[in-house]
Structure 1
Amino acid sequence: MKKRPLILVTNDDGIAAPGIRALIEVMKTIGDVIVVAPDSPQSGKGHAVTIDATLFCNKINIDDQVAEEYSCSGTPVDCVKLAVNELLRKKPDICVSGINHGSNSSVNVIYSGTMSAAVEAGIEGIPAIGFSLCDYSWDADFESIKDQVRTITLSALKNGMPKGVVLNVNFPKISKEAVRGIKICRQANARWVEEFDKRTNPQGREYYWLTGKFISEDKGEDTDEWALANGYISVVPVQFDLTAHHAIQTLNTWSLND
């Protein structure tokens, strides 16, 4: 009998979010599931770690069919670090993060707690995938994407992951029947144009709400933004070596040691 893989599940929307509960349902059909996730929403925390406060981690029971579930007071990255170093008896075969309520395509990967959890797992040498659905609604239709989540996860387990790479998977907000397929992409050149809504509270103190709009400046048809806009599920291989290798030769012309 083939041994079932050990799967670590985490997210950034909180352990009770519909997205992670849907992801857990899929992973239970594949392997033995351990959940370590934030006890409250941690969206936009990126790769933040807790170094100036205590961390609490409580064993809970939301799903009787899950071997172990832990609710953590820290960030998504804290969750992965605690799982690997304290809670798990052995390294998981794969870590899946999500399913995020909202897009993590293009530059959003930098800010994403969902993807940072996956990247942290990758740094630990664990194959990892971050899943996101381009629908910010708490009642988003995660049921319609379960088959593709399963397909991608099984493919990663079967084929292995390239060294130093994790996958950033985004699903368009369209019906299951309208999906045209899965497309391997590059990250689009896009950015946020931020604006701050300046206000004054009843005590006369000024405060700000961050707002803005997402601008894509990339016309390529090989990007995640193009894929999502055209009915495809986008899969972007993400590396956590941030070295701009193409710039090394240029920097070596600066004569910095003269």
Structure 2
Amino acid sequence: MASIIKHVFSNYNEFLETSKDPEIDSWLFMGSPTPVLLIVIAYLSFVLKIGPKMMEKRSAYELKSIIILYNAFQVIFNIWLTKQVFNIHLLGVLTTDTCNNKLPVNSKLNTSISAAGWWYFFAKITELLDTVFFVLRKKFNQVSFLHVYHHTITAFFSWCYLKFLPGEQGVVIGFLNSFVHIVMYSYYMIAALGPEYRKYLWWKKYMTWLQLIQFGIMLTYLMFTLTTDCRMPKALTYFFLTHVIIFLYLFSNFYRKAYTKPKKLQ
């Protein structure tokens, strides 16, 4: 067992050295996997164990003003992230025939994509607060497997992408996800304003449609990269494909339970 662990760490260190980017390594949380792993572990510990135990004999926190401000921030932040994608010329990135995972070191495009990638990763870290607020408000029914799995995976693998494979193939996924989050956090912000605003939230189920369409496009794009001369490792592409398929299944299952089953029971 000890030899297996030693072998894994040896291979990781070798891979880390060959894919090292001094500029990216100097950015917050990017020097090693330790910070992001600690954040994810702390997140899972709090939302699954510590938080529910802490709130067991406490009244739910209101947090209305904080949640409205938080959702407003996420809307503005994701609008800004979407704008960054247009700043790096999305159409030109999509029509490239090389699908580089490493552009020239001094490339202006490379710097722009990597910087946008870090802010996207940072957005995924801030979004972990979604679940923290659920716990503090004792909305434990919303701390579902889908919710926790989605937040955990996107936070960790946005770090992995930026650390090991910054390049134009991540622009599509970042753009789609940021756009969907503009809609999603707009909904949450309106919902947080109070019951009198619920009449404006008739489009709730269409958010799930939008998320499913997002994953469908991601799936198509990742399959496309497998058929082109893309330097992105095939194993990693298959790994991303697997998780996109899992998300498709989980969100489809959520939609079926939330919007299809109740109609059949009436």
Question: Structure 2 length normalisation: TM-score?
Answer: 0.27
Question: Structure 1 length normalisation: TM-score?
Answer: 0.27
Tell me which protein shows more helix as a share of its residues. 2
Tell me which protein shows more strand as a share of its residues. 1
Higher relative contact order (CA 8 A, sep 6+): 2
